[in-house]
Amino acid sequence: MAISPPIDQVAALPAQDSWFTAARRFCLGRPLGAIGAAVIVVMFVVAVLAPLISPYDPVVNDFAGMLAAPSRAHWLGTDAFGRDVLSRLIYGSRTALLVGFGASVLGATLGAVLGVASAYFGGRVDLYLQRLMDIFLSFPLIILALALVAILGNSIPNLILAIMIPMIPRAALVIRSSALAIREMPYVDAARAAGFRHGRIIMRHMLPNVMAPYLIMLTAFLGQAVLLESSLSFLGLGVQEPIPAWGLMLRGAAVEFAETAPWMAIFPGLAISLSVFAFNLFGDSLRDALDPRLRTQ
């Protein structure tokens, strides 16, 4: 027999906020996070509308206009092949977001599943999974990503994979600690006692309750992934010419002509900094908003 709460108590529960109200409260309460979110939204819009808003084709060489300073024709100047820097930045946002979101969503999700499974099963499963995670954690993020790209090759799917793998143990570690507390909750015991399968308990009762740390990890990873993709491309191990990518725009001629054509390095550098800054601002604010301990302070 199901037990219902008394009717007077149900009426006293606070009404669920709409998305709009929640977003408004977030923007008003955490303006820096809102600025970060706005920049991310702009990046998305720019990436999606790239073919419509880009003034030039980002891969077409125009030797007549090589190394041109910013002007009306080319707002951010041109590079050593006469390619429009603004157009390459616009298309480069697609690469940054594709690799950034691909790697961080996959990394955080796989990490969450492994972290929750590790906490739920405990015992040997937890021991072996955590030691495996410790091995991966012993490598710095960039070193592991570099090694993986060197092994896998440097296509975009491989780049996503190489950035994603080092993120899994980091997500698993954080989410396991949250899941350990949830595992001891009476409703998990009740689900077990009711004879539900492990998969159902993990997916229905535990994973939804680690959403807050998951989202926080995800936003933190986004900035790191964009930075890693740019670093690998700058080192020649990521995206390859002539595909537009911010890190790639910083290497080669941008370095050689740094003194005579500084716009080649300044604008992609700013784009990387701004996007990472935006992801970090948004991630920090989201963490503050979702963490009940901080919320009550």
Partner 1 sequence: MRRHPALSLLILALALAAGVLPLAAQDKPRSGGELVFVVPSEPPSYDAHQEETFGLIHPLAPHYNTLLRVDPTDKTGTKPVGDLAESWTISKDQLTYTFKIRKGVKFHDGSEMTSKDIKASYDKILKPPAGVKSLRKEAYEAIASIEAPDPTTFVVKLKYPESSMLVNLASPWNFIYKADILAKDPHYYETHIMGTGPFKFVEHVKGSHWIGKKNPDYWDKGKPYLDGYRAIFISSSAAQVAAVRGERAMIQFRSFSPPERDQLVQALGNKITVQESPWDCLNFVSMHHDKKPFNDKRVRRALSLALDRYEGSKALSKITLVKDVAGIQVPGTPFATPPAELEKLAGYGHDIAKNRAEAKRLLKEAGVPDGFAFTFKNRGIPHPYEPLGVWLIDQWRQIGLNVKMEMIEASAYHPMLKRGDFEVAMDFQCGFIVEPDLDLPRFLSTSDANYGRHKDTVIDDLMHQQGRATDIEERKKILRQIEKRLLDEEAHVIYTLQWHRIVPHLSKVKGWTITPSHYLNNQLDTVWLSE
- In the numeric block, the tokens 């080649």 are attached to 264
119 CA to centre of own chain: 24
Figure out which of the listed residues 32, 38, 42, 61 binds partner 1, where binding follows CB under 8 A. 61
φ, ψ for residue 84, nearest 5 deg: -70, 120
Q: Is residue 113 at the binding interface for partner 1, with CB under 8 A as the rule?
A: no
φ, ψ for residue 24, nearest 5 deg: -65, -45
The DSSP 8-state label assigned to residue 63 in this structure reads: G
Q: Between 40 and 248, name the residue whose CB sits nearer to partner 1.
A: 248
φ, ψ for residue 73, nearest 5 deg: -70, -40
φ, ψ for residue 197, nearest 5 deg: -75, 160
Figure out which of the listed residues 23, 125, 135, 255 binds partner 1, where binding follows CB under 8 A. 255
Selected range binding partner 1 among 105-113, 161-169, 237-245, 285-293, rule: CB under 8 A? 237-245
Q: Is residue 39 at the binding interface for partner 1, with CB under 8 A as the rule?
A: no
Calpha distance 48→39 (Å, rounded): 14
170 CA to centre of own chain: 13
| Cβ at position 57, least distance to partner 1 in Å | 9
Q: Between 166 and 238, name the residue whose CB sits nearer to partner 1.
A: 238
* Tokens read off for 289: 């908003």
36 CA to centre of own chain: 13
Q: Between 78 and 130, name the residue whose CB sits nearer to partner 1.
A: 78
Please report, as residue ranges, which positions from 148 to 177 form the binding site for partner 1 (by CB under 8 A): 150, 153-154
Give which of 125, 269, 243 is closest to 183, Cα–Cα. Answer: 125
Selected range binding partner 1 among 28-36, 84-92, 214-222, 236-244, rule: CB under 8 A? 236-244
x/- mask, partner 1, residues 191-220, rule CB under 8 A, reads: ------------------------------
Q: Between 252 and 269, name the residue whose CB sits nearer to partner 1.
A: 252
CA distances 195 to 190, 203, 240, Å, are: 9, 15, 53
Selected range binding partner 1 among 36-44, 125-133, 147-155, 189-197, rule: CB under 8 A? 147-155
Selected range binding partner 1 among 60-68, 70-78, 181-189, 277-285, rule: CB under 8 A? 60-68
Q: Between 70 and 82, name the residue whose CB sits nearer to partner 1.
A: 82
| Cβ at position 155, least distance to partner 1 in Å | 8
Please report, as residue ranges, which positions from 68 to 107 form the binding site for partner 1 (by CB under 8 A): 80-82
| Cβ at position 61, least distance to partner 1 in Å | 4
Q: Is residue 262 at the binding interface for partner 1, with CB under 8 A as the rule?
A: no
Q: Between 65 and 100, name the residue whose CB sits nearer to partner 1.
A: 65
Residues 6+ apart with CB under 8 A from 22: none
Calpha distance 77→256 (Å, rounded): 16
Give which of 67, 51, 50, 46 is closest to 274, Cα–Cα. Answer: 46
Q: Are 33 and 26 in contact (CB under 8 A)?
A: yes
* Tokens read off for 208: 């939804």
Footprint of partner 1 (CB under 8 A): 59-61, 63, 66, 80-82, 150, 153-154, 236, 240-242, 251-253, 255-257, 259-260
